[in-house]
A = this chain, B = another copy of it.
Amino acid sequence: MKPEHIAEMKARARNIVLSVAYDGTAYHGFQRQTPPVTAVQNILEEKLQLVFGDSIELAAAGRTDAGVHAYGQVVNFFTNGTIPVSRIVRAVNSLLPSDIVVKAAAETDADFSARHSATSKVYLYRMQQGETPDPLRARYVWHERRPLDLFRMRQALDCIRGTHDFSAFRASGGAPMSPVRTMYEAVLQERPDHLLEFRLHGNGFLYHMVRNLIGTIADVGLGRLSLEEFQQILASRDRQNASATAPARGLYLYEVHYAGRDLFSFP
C-alpha cells in the first residue's frame, strides 16, 4: 500500500483482527491474485466486504504458498462497518466456503498490524511414514515409504535451535531481508495417529525456509546426509547445498504470537 492509502485506511473507525483457518489445497496461496486465479485473500476480502459494507484490504501475518494450510493465520483490516464484534464470526462463516473458516474476531487499536506486530510464529510440518500412503491424508501430509531415523532427525533439529544465518534454506524468490533468525523451538513428535509432526517456533522465517529445512532433515532421517553434513550445509549459507524443498501440503501456519497483546479471549 502507498502511504496516503494507508493513512486513508487508518482513518476508518475500527481495526478488526481475525484468526483464520484454511485448507490451502484449492488456492494459489494466501496473497491476493488477479482473477481467475484465486487466493485465500480474494475470498476473505470478498466476503468481508459483504459483511462490513466497505472495501476491505487485509494485512496477514504470513503469506502461505499454494497448498499450504493454516490453523491460526492472523489478519487485520480497517473498516467503518458497524457489525458488533460478537456477530462477526458467524456472519462471515455463513458466507465462506467450507475450506476457509474464521475462528475468532476482535477489535484492536489502530497501531496493530497482523503482519508487522507479530513477534513470533509457529509452523507445523506433518509426514506419514509407511508402506502405503493414506488417501484420506493425501492433501495434508508428505508421505515417505522408507524408514526415517527419528533420533538423527532430532539431532539435526537441535542444530537449528538458537540464532543462525539461515541463507542455506532460503529460496531465491524472497525479499532481501536479513537471513538471521532465532529458532526458539525445533522438535519432532510422533502423534497418537502415527503421523510425524515437526514444530518450528521462531521469530521469523525466510521464504521457503521451513520446507527447505524439512527436505534436508528428511535426508538426514533417510541416511542420505550425516549430521556433520547437515551442520556443514547450515554453516555454508549456500542454498545449493541443501536438499529439495519439501511439498507444500505438509505445512501448516499454526500460531502467530504478538508479545504483550492478548488479542482473542475465547470463552
Contact = CB atoms under 8 A, between A and B. Distances in A.
A69 to B, nearest CB: 6
B23 A101 contact: no
A132 interface: yes
A203 to B, nearest CB: 26
Interface residues of A, number: 23
Nearest to A69: B136
Contacts of A100: 135
A135 B193 contact: no
A85 to B, nearest CB: 15
B133 A98 contact: yes
A101 B135 contact: yes
A135 B89 contact: no
A193 B23 CA distance: 17
Contact of A101 (B103, B133, B192): B133
A99 interface: yes
Interface in A13-52: 21-23
Return the 6 tightest CB-CB contacts between A and B, nearest first.
A98-B138, A101-B135, A99-B135, A192-B192, A23-B135, A23-B136
